[in-house]
Amino acid sequence: MVSDLIEANERFRGILDRLSTKSIEDYYNPYRVFEWPETLPENMWWMSPDLTSTHGSEVVRDLGEEQLHRLSKYESVNFYSLNVHGIRELLIEVTRRIHTTDFEAPSEFFHHFIGEENEHMWFFAEFCSRYGHKIYKQPRGGNASVPASEAESLLVFARILIFEELVDYYNAKMAQDTGLHDTIRQVNRIHHQDESRHIAFGRELVAILFDDFRVGASEEELRNVERYLKRYVSYSFESLFNPQVYRDAGIEDPLEFRSTLLNSPTRHEFEQRVFRKPLSYLVKTGIFRDKNLHVA
């Protein structure tokens, strides 16, 4: 029972109290805090250049500055679209658990979490609709997102944490990037501020869920968790390489372009850079044996 694990963990209870208090103290009205200009200039970087999917790759040589700017615009709209979809998925999972017997202990914090995530989804969707005139969709299908097992809550919250850490890497960089438009920096800065609480919570929760799971798990079950989450890391990374983005930016063969980038020698370094913090955490907790994401 997750609540029992938390109740027995004085440190975690203290963290939950502090995070809830901080949520109340830092509360802002997202519907008032942003000033949305009518338009944003087309001829600028919409995303920090070293965060764009083509950074460091050979294909950059074939693209002019104007096309790189256009690409960065659609990549940024894709990034915020991924946020919208990712937040919807995590809201579904957290809402399924709030005030159930198993999750009574973190439910007070879940109220803040759900409220804040709903607001984040709103401002990301607003950005996409205002400046990209769309929210990119992703094909959805296949079996359940998280396979039903004893590890279900562990996998759900580990996925949420990985997703938040990925997004936060981008947010933190773009919030600091003085080359970006103020509106773009503000969206990223505000999200980064709130996410630091959610990430702190996620790290604590995932660690205790894993400690509990591994007590009764076989070696094979532990490896299955590792394999599944490593696949999720790569899946999340690859979702940043959207053929629809390349099509909108005027790239001739979007699928081939995507393939070239994902098979480029720079991919590994880029992926490891983006996930440096969560991979260190996942290895430190014992969920991953190593940081190698591409295992047979």
Partner 1 sequence: MTSTAPGTIDAVRDWIVGKHPERSPVDQHIDLIENRLIDSLSFVEFVFVIEKASGTSIDVDTVDIDDFRTLSAIEKAFFPA
Q: Interface with partner 1 includes 32 (CB under 8 A)?
A: no
Touching partner 1, residues 252-271 (CB under 8 A)? 255-256, 258-259
Q: Interface with partner 1 includes 139 (CB under 8 A)?
A: yes
Q: Interface with partner 1 includes 53 (CB under 8 A)?
A: no
Nearer of residues 112 and 258 to partner 1, judged by Cβ = 258
Q: Interface with partner 1 includes 243 (CB under 8 A)?
A: yes
Query: Quick count: other Cβ atoms within 10 Å of Cβ 180?
Result: 22
Q: Interface with partner 1 includes 294 (CB under 8 A)?
A: no
Own/partner pairs for 57-61, CB < 8 Å, 24+ apart? 57/260, 57/261, 57/264, 57/266, 58/264, 59/257, 59/260, 59/261, 59/264
Q: Interface with partner 1 includes 144 (CB under 8 A)?
A: yes
Dig out the tokens for 266 from the structure: 């720079």
CA nearest neighbour of 159 among 253, 95, 246, 236? 236
Candidates 10-18, 66-74, 134-142, 168-176: pick the segment binding partner 1 (CB under 8 A): 134-142
Candidates 46-54, 61-69, 193-201, 238-246: pick the segment binding partner 1 (CB under 8 A): 238-246
Q: What is the CA radius of gyration of the chain?
A: 20
Question: 40: Cβ–Cβ under 8 A, 6 or more apart, which residues?
Answer: 46, 131, 181, 183, 184
Q: Interface with partner 1 includes 81 (CB under 8 A)?
A: no
With CB under 8 A as the rule, give the number of residues binding partner 1. 21
Rounded to whole angstroms, the Cα distance separating 267 from 279 reads 16
Residues interacting with partner 1, by CB under 8 A?
Answer: 137-145, 147, 228, 231-232, 235, 238-239, 243, 255-256, 258-259
